[in-house]
Structure 1
Amino acid sequence: MNRSPDGKDSALAARATGTSWRDTALRYYSLAKPRVLYGNVLTAAAGFLFASPGRIDWLLFLAVCLGTTLVIGSACVLNNVLDRDIDTLMARTKKRATVTGGIVARNALIYSAILGFGGMAILVAWTNLLVVAVGLGGFLAYVVLYGMLSKRLSIHGTLVGSISGAAPVLGGYLGASNAIDAGAVIAFLMMFVWQLPAFYSISIYRRDEYARAGVPVISVVRGIANTKVQILIYTALFVVVSLLPQVFGSTGWTYTAVMGALGAGWLVLGVRGLKSDDDNRWARHMFRYALVMMSAISLMLAVGPRLP
């Protein structure tokens, strides 16, 4: 005799077919690219604290971080929708919910709109016009200039994408200072330049995937040897820019000593890459070191103005 499943049986059945509320929530969560999201929000928080050497307005800090998080999440979701054709051809992206059908494009677009309007509403209501402008500009730069245009058409896609990647730290800084000054420019330039050796390194060990997907990254168009040289140049430029805060009186010697030592280590690794026999292995090491540098620069921007 058949019987209707009770609540427990329904939950088990839903879980078996991958349609439980938890599975659905995880799909939507992953669609916002959590690693990208948290990394960018970390820099936004660092920018705010860098511009707040004295008293910290914690409510404003929360508004800047939350609004920025939602706007970035919206851009990431929309980018996933636009990149479905490319994502099917790359190992690291072919399991995204927008590719597998776990989330249909219409629902993803609604999700992106909710995140975007919610984030912008918070920025408009509780921050200032400069932060709102940076948030909107960063969104458009990532989705339109990078995702829809330069990523698919030009070798300079990474340069364009770095503009949006540096927007969060600038937005955080402007949230606290409400002024474009030397500190704002330095913070923006640091995160802009940091992304080039980081993502050029990815382009080396993911070169075959990008080539198969028809994405004209530097390693595909100009070769690995040229990419290594570019990585070293931008690594050196990052080190120079990262040491500017003390020159402009924003930090003390502690900041400079820490960033100088870490920057020297990244430079040494970059030089070794010029003669590396295993390009993919070296590129992975460069990218991992880049993540260390991002964490370090975020921490030191936050605490540097408060240390000797």
Structure 2
Amino acid sequence: MSHPVYRFAPSPNGRLHLGHALSALINFDAAGASGGRFLLRIEDIDTTRCTPALEAAMLDDLAWLGIAWETPVRRQSAHFKDYRNALETLEDQGLVYRGYLTRREIRDAVASAEARDGEHWPRDPDGAPLYPGDAALLSADEIAAREAGDAPHVLRLDMKTAVARVGEPLTWQEMPAPKADTEKQAATIAADPARWGDVVLARKDTPTSYHLSVVVDDALQGVTHVVRGRDLYEATAVHRLLQVLLGLPQPAYHHHRLILDETGRKLSKSQGDTALSALREAGETPADIRCRIGFGARDPGS
């Protein structure tokens, strides 16, 4: 019987905070308790915001917490060819198209439609407006001109065709919190990727997206248990669709609680929430961090 494989996959575009500590420690502890493997993956497809200095600080924080990982570490920026190959597989199936509408054009069109019709534009589970399609806003001549000039664009999944191609309901297995003494059974969750509309798979200047790279990486690394925050629960539907279309194995999933601030907002690097490094400098220990995130006082993976 093969051993389970867990992973923690942060982006080095800011300093780690308590939310990262929670996810990293849940995965690390689960791997240790099950006799499995723990992998660290650096999700740095954004080569502008992700820097070597931030990566080094992140690794230092994780080591300080007592977390150890296998080497070499997989860095997404070194594997763009893998994502390109996956994208070509989808292109060969006729499931990918170029979208030329800019974010501003989409935003303005949605605002105009909502003001005109008095109804909310359809949105994905994260609250972003669904893509209206170039033909809804641009003339055929304008689309041809942008195409001929290789204008900035994104590569989108033709969701309706992709779902029809699968031809059967999609599901995933949602595990209980990864503790050795749990007797709960995994739940079968119905996946509805169509709620996301035509998701972005790559951009002209970035040859992959989170959705595409994460399913490719998990498959190539043999990840069997994806344990991550509840903010990614709904995205699992897209990941299951891509796994089926690409012929990739299905890992088991668990989406753990989030660390929230006093207003109920999840912690965020972009919002400058208190970094682990600041807590270290204030004299806190790894044991203090475990107490802060609720280990020992409650089920850490709940």
TM-score greater than 0.5 by the shorter chain: no
More helix by share: 1
Higher relative contact order (CA 8 A, sep 6+): 2
Q: Which has the higher strand share?
A: 2
Query: What is the TM-score with the length of structure 1 in the denominator?
Result: 0.31
